[in-house]
Structure 1
Amino acid sequence: MNADVYNNDYYGNESVDEVGPDESWVQLYSDRFLGIVYSLMFIFSLSTNILVLVIIHRFEKLTTVTNLLLLNLVLSCLLFIVSLPFLGADLLLSDWPFGDLICKLVGILYYLGFYSSVLFLTVLTFDRHLAVVYSLNAQRVRSRTYALVSCAVVWLVSALASIKPMIIHKSYYQQMHERTYCGEVGGSQVLWSVGFYTQLLLFFLFPLLVIMYCYTRIACTVLSSQIVTKFKTVRLIFVIVLLFFICWTPFNVALLMFESATTPEDRDRWRETVNVTERFTHLYFCISPIFYTFVGRKFQNYFRMLLVTRFPRLKRHISVSQISPTNMSG
């Protein structure tokens, strides 16, 4: 979950080499920098997601599949980003000052938001694929019941996947570094293996394959249509797939190598790689909702309407159009 989430593992008795003075200073400044980054990520993500909630509340109706899925995506992102200030404080203070209970609660929110956000992004992608590729027949499938059942399944699967980190997530004091950590520690090899394969298969390979398939079909459909802005749409599709691949592949490859390592030296090396690459996945949660909201013409118009309502003088410089509330993907 943080820079020390894999500081201990199920072997529990691996030796840790002493860290030299230069390396300590490098680690200290690296942690300070990351603490500031986490704080900025929290402010940015909180602002954008709250803005989406405000627009849904003011201009939209929760009767469409897209809006229901988008609302749940925003809620899952909010669960995840609530943990960021705690992770930032941990890095800035070089210590976990909040106790074991808060550590476990933050861990639960982190993983529940982490897992559900990935699945909701996948479901949103699949739903957009239905709406574009099967536009004539999709309305019979894309009902409110379909959306509610999809959301319920995502939350249930995410909650079940969060059981493993919930069990072994705790605060612990490390004598050598003279500091308290908050992360995953202990647990059986079976528990770690189940968590690893769940992460790799359910929260990486499955979403990646679904997203690549759906956006390939969407791109083919758009290119074969008469849509004027089709090349801009295809470019956006490419960016979404590329962003997912860049943010998630290094982390999961590092997890695979960490799980496959047989020597303490290899495990130490890949443990640090896991910790570094995991931070790239955080960027995906901060950026990805923008592609599902801000890039839509309807959302941009709603945003301009909010600005004009709040600052009437901008009406001379900002044009808005009256559109019916259906969904924010338009």
Structure 2
Amino acid sequence: MALVLNMSDPDVNISDVAMNATQQLEGQHNFYVVVPIIYSFICAVGLLGNTAVIYVILRAPKMRTVTNMFILNLAIADELFTLVLPINIADHLLLEWPFGQAMCKLIVAIDHYNMFTSIYFLTVMSIDRYLVVLATVKSRSFTWRTYAVAKWVCGAVWALVSLVVLPFVVFASNGIVDSQRRTRCGLELPSPEAEWLRAVRTYTLIAGFVLPVTTICTLYTSMLRQLRGLRLSSNNARALDKAKRKVTLMVAVVLGVCLLCWTPYHLSTVVALAVDLNETPMVIAVSYFIISLSYANSCLNPLLYAFLDESFRRSFLKLLECKTG
């Protein structure tokens, strides 16, 4: 049984053990009340922040840059997730799934789209940042780095994520009944379930964390190495020093928040692959903390990629002035 216990979690096993964890939750009044409050806060902040990001980038002409195209798609993915988060809250409160098979597949799909698009667009942004720094260091220009090309890249990312998410959609089912005859939504895996579950966990860990995070770390390490190796002339020393500080800050923020939100989630997958854990109150509490932390990434992204950007703040305030004026 996986450490993370959530109806849309890829590690959820369709077995009596999983249902027993849900039944234990009924007796834990604090979990029953606190989890929806946390999810609701994430939903509210995420909807507000991502809506602002989407609105500003689409309405402000100066915001139509390559980087902002990636940020826009990241915000769209987060917005989709926060829009359906109330259904997860309802599922938690009702202790069963009343929304049918189609909605079950849709929610599982969007949950996993959120997981993979976040880290994949972060990887694309890292590649783009690496190319920009490389061009600066070598005094070159990339003529193909345009807004139109960025749109095609975003389309390719969505297509790739669709392929990655497809197995979860296929196995998603609400035809799961616990010992109290209540319908649940999760992954209905073929026999032998244990082997399939191990394969799902490994697939999620590699595709959703190991490969993209390794790529990101490699790119930023290479960027910093190249910037440190520059011999600065008197004319461009200040500019390059400033660029170095910005890249260093970006490395710290992007990698730090990414690891903060998603490492516990994927670490729980590693633990689940290694040992079988009993569904004690402590394990359940840690499980919900981990899943809430990964959900929180959807409301943190607008702050990281947009609200900390001075040009975004200026565009946002200008649009507000136009509305109020």
Whether TM-score is above 0.5 comes out as yes
Instruction: Provide the residue aligned with 1:266 in structure 2.
Output: 277
Decide whether the 8 Å contact of 1:172 with 1:182 is kept in 2: yes
2:40 pairs with 1:39:
yes
CA spacing shift, 1:294–1:73, aligned 2, 3 Å:
same
Which of 291, 309, 314 is the matching residue for 1:301? 314
How do 1:74-223 and structure 2 match up within 5 A? 74-135=75-136, 136-144=139-147, 146-172=149-175, 174-177=177-180, 179-188=182-191, 189=193, 191-219=196-224
Report which structure shows greater RCO (CA 8 Å, sep ≥6).
Answer: 2
- Residue 53 of structure 1 and its aligned partner are, at CA, apart by 1.6
Corresponding residue pairs, total = 306
Decide whether the 8 Å contact of 2:60 with 2:315 is kept in 1: yes
Provide the C-alpha distance between the structure 1 equivalents of 2:19 and 2:122, rounded to a whole number of angstroms.
Answer: 39
2:301 pairs with 1:288:
yes
Which of 256, 268, 273 is the matching residue for 1:254? 268
Instruction: Provide the residue aligned with 1:326 in structure 2.
Output: none
Which shows bigger deviation, 183-192 or 276-285?
183-192
Which shows bigger deviation, 235-244 or 286-295?
235-244
- Residue 144 of structure 1 and its aligned partner are, at CA, apart by 4.4
Instruction: Provide the residue aligned with 1:322 in structure 2.
Output: none
- Residue 20 of structure 1 and its aligned partner are, at CA, apart by 9.1
- Residue 119 of structure 1 and its aligned partner are, at CA, apart by 0.6
SS in structure 1 at match of 2:27: helix
Provide the C-alpha distance between the structure 2 equivalents of 1:102 and 1:95, rounded to a whole number of angstroms.
Answer: 13
Gaps of 5+ in 1: 313-330
SS in structure 2 at match of 1:162: helix
- Residue 152 of structure 1 and its aligned partner are, at CA, apart by 2.8
What TM-score do the two structures reach when normalised by structure 2? Answer: 0.79
CA spacing shift, 1:93–1:13, aligned 2, 3 Å:
closer
Provide the C-alpha distance between the structure 2 equivalents of 1:241 and 1:306, rounded to a whole number of angstroms.
Answer: 31
2:17 pairs with 1:9:
no
CA spacing shift, 1:115–1:85, aligned 2, 3 Å:
same
SS in structure 1 at match of 2:307: coil
SS in structure 2 at match of 1:182: strand
Q: Percent identity?
A: 24
Which residue identity does 2:214 align to in structure 1?
L
CA spacing shift, 1:144–1:193, aligned 2, 3 Å:
farther
How do 1:62-73 and structure 2 match up within 5 A? 64-73=65-74
Provide the C-alpha distance between the structure 1 equivalents of 2:283 and 2:185, rounded to a whole number of angstroms.
Answer: 16
Decide whether the 8 Å contact of 1:251 with 1:281 is kept in 2: yes
Gaps of 5+ in 2: 231-236
Which shows bigger deviation, 75-84 or 169-178?
169-178
Decide whether the 8 Å contact of 1:6 with 1:271 is kept in 2: no
Provide the C-alpha distance between the structure 2 equivalents of 1:252 and 1:226, rounded to a whole number of angstroms.
Answer: 41
Provide the C-alpha distance between the structure 2 equivalents of 1:68 and 1:284, rounded to a whole number of angstroms.
Answer: 19
- Residue 120 of structure 1 and its aligned partner are, at CA, apart by 0.9
CA spacing shift, 1:112–1:7, aligned 2, 3 Å:
closer
Which residue identity does 1:266 align to in structure 2?
L
- Residue 107 of structure 1 and its aligned partner are, at CA, apart by 1.4
Instruction: Provide the residue aligned with 1:240 in structure 2.
Output: 254
